[in-house]
Amino acid sequence: MSQCSIHGALGTVKKRADRGPVAPMHPRRDVGGPNPCGRPYYGFPDPWHRSMRPTQVRARSGVPADRIAAVFESASRRYVETHPRSQQLIGPRGIAGFYDGVPMHWMRDWSMPFPFVVDSAHGATLRDVDGHEYADFCLGDTGGMFGHSPAPVAEAVARQSGKGLTYMLPTEEALAVGRLLAERFGLPHWQIATTATDANRFALRVARAVTGRPKILVFNGCYHGTVDETFVRLVGGRVVQRPGLLGQASDLTQWARVVEFNDVDGLRAELAHGDVACVIAEPVMTNSCMVLPAPGFHDALRTLTRETGALLLIDETHTISTGPGGYTRARGLEPDLFVLGKPIAGGVPASAWGFTEDVRRRLDGVRAATPSGHTGMGTTLSANALALAAMRATLEHVMTPAAYGAMERLASVLELNLEQAIEEYGVPWHVVRLGARVELVCGRGPLRNGTEAEAAHAPALERALHLSLLNEGCLIAPFHNMMLVCPATTEDQVGRLCDAFERALANLTTG
Ligand SMILES: Cc1ncc(COP(=O)(O)O)c(C=O)c1O
């Protein structure tokens, strides 16, 4: 039973006066240590702890390096002991038949020594084949933002699956979806794709086509899916390709301009070249820890793009956590192009991209002047009947103001409790929340841009923290410290996470 005070008055936080003083932090030793499973750890591209001396690790995160290593090692051992069935099923070399032993290679990028095998998930609860039940705050990192298999979506999927899944022709569901998207997001013209990556790719193609310009401007540290033009970074003021990319056909830096988020002067200077077709932006950077826009930044972004003839694409794939119309509707943004993916069909792969009447008019003109042929947009399964049925159910019955109200309420309780634990244990960390999305950053804040966000990442520490929480039945997103609250999340589950977080903090800071 959780001890978190959310069981009392809503929005209150835990009372901590009854706890003793925080013990002094431990002196140093090195981070790392043997993997109990004898496999290398994956993911967490990690300049952070390898390039730092332990004293720096502690100065940056407030946690002694030797505690990070010790906590991770003991959490790894506990994980291995308590997941024998998953370990047996996955096998010593991973699942047979799959490259890298998993259906998608990033499934090895979690903090666990090996991934657990999922048995089922419903609402905000996930079960593994070892019989553990997790309060799921990862929620398929946003694909399940409205819970696993919400009833209206499950019913729509069942209904549609009795009638065929894909025909390359519209269904009656499509009539409703077009109207629902236009009403909700305020843009008149829409297309359906399968992933947010696809939607961004197609929208950027339209931007290039209608402006006749070659370049895309991105914010340093962004992520918009596996979209080539966005795989660039600023390093020492120079645009470079993101490390780790494989098989690029061309030098991506020639198609991109990169500016730090919140840097209005930098934005003005880069747009002044007159070769930018489109600025693509998350309205809040959620993939770089979480970076909020400075006051006036979005106004400046819109004014400068208009003045220089560049289009503005707002990617709401994550920031749809803000409310039913996303950050765009909540803050009155005026994008030319708009992208939404992941949870839009309740977990069925689907995305939507919309645009203004002005873009429609220009696109018509370009198409009329172009020889007929493949536009380079759309895939065979784009806008399939199953996706449209699930999207309609999600828009009509799942992404409701009431659902958002419940999510926001519990997310704010989670935020307050995390903040209070951070304060009590005296670590230089902070918490940022965007509606239902809560991000813990193991560094000082607020962060102003992608460079600061990258420096704030603490992969070794985050790994130890994630695994500690997991061992206590709480799953958070693997690549940073993201916790998402869905309509089915209960107060008990939030309480469980708050308590597990506090125990992990105690363990990390006091041993
Ligand atoms: C803001 C944003 N846009 C687009 C995407 C791509 O989504 P998908 O991987 O579903 O194509 C992501 C994925 O994390 C994202 O965070």
- 3-state SS string for 168-211: CCCCHHHHHHHHHHHHHHCCCEEEEECCHHHHHHHHHHHHHHHH
- 420 to each of 138, 225, 284, 411, 425, how far by Cα in Å? 22, 34, 24, 14, 9
Asked if 349 contacts 153 with a C-beta cutoff of 8 angstroms, the reply is no
Of ligand 1's atoms, which has the minimum distance to the CA of residue 225? 6
pLDDT of residue 363: 98
Residue 336's pLDDT is what?
99
Q: 128 Cβ partners below 8 Å, 6+ apart? A: 83, 86, 116, 117, 118, 119, 134
Task: Give the model's pLDDT for residue 479.
Answer: 84
Closest C-alpha residue for ligand 1 atom 7: 196
CA dihedral 136→140→145→148, nearest 10 degrees, is: -70
Asked if residues 289 and 439 have their Cβ atoms less than 8 Å apart, the reply is: yes
293, 262 Cβ separation under 8 angstroms: yes
Q: What confidence score (pLDDT) does residue 20 get? A: 34
* pLDDT at residue 338, rounded to an integer: 98
Is the entire prediction scored with pTM above 0.85?
yes
Hey, whose CA ends up nearest to atom 15 of ligand 1? 224
Under a CB-based contact definition with an 8 Å cutoff, are residues 220 and 450 in contact?
Answer: yes
Residue 46 has a pLDDT of 41
Which residue numbers in the chain have pLDDT < 70?
1-54, 57, 511
User: 357-368 and 196-211 helices cross at what angle (nearest 10)?
Assistant: 70
**Number of the ligand 1 atom closest to the C-alpha atom of 287:** 16
Protein residue closest via CA to atom 2 of ligand 1:
224
As for ligand 1, residues whose beta carbon falls within 6 Å of it are 195-197, 200, 223-225, 282, 287, 315, 317-318, 341-342
Atom of ligand 1 nearest to the CA of 195: 11
Answer yes or no: are the C-beta atoms of 266 and 302 closer than 8 Å: no
Q: How far is the CA of 225 from the centre of ligand 1 (A)?
A: 4
User: Ligand 1 centroid to 204 CA: how many Å?
Assistant: 14
The reported pLDDT for the residue numbered 10 is 40
Close Cβ partners of 105 (under 8 Å, ≥ 6 residues apart): 99
DSSP letter, residue 479: S
Spatial contact of 464 and 71, defined as CB atoms under 8 Å apart: yes
pLDDT on residue 13: 43
What is the reported pLDDT for 72? 97
| The amino acid at 68 | I
pLDDT given at position 61: 83
**Which residue's C-alpha comes closest to atom 3 of ligand 1?**
224
Model pLDDT, residue 41: 33
* Pairing outcome for strands 474-475 and 133-136: parallel
Supply the pLDDT for residue 223. 97
* Element (DSSP H or E) covering residue 241: strand 238-241
Phi, psi angles (nearest 5°) of residue 359: -65, -40
For residue 316, report the distance from its CA to the centre of ligand 1, in Å: 9
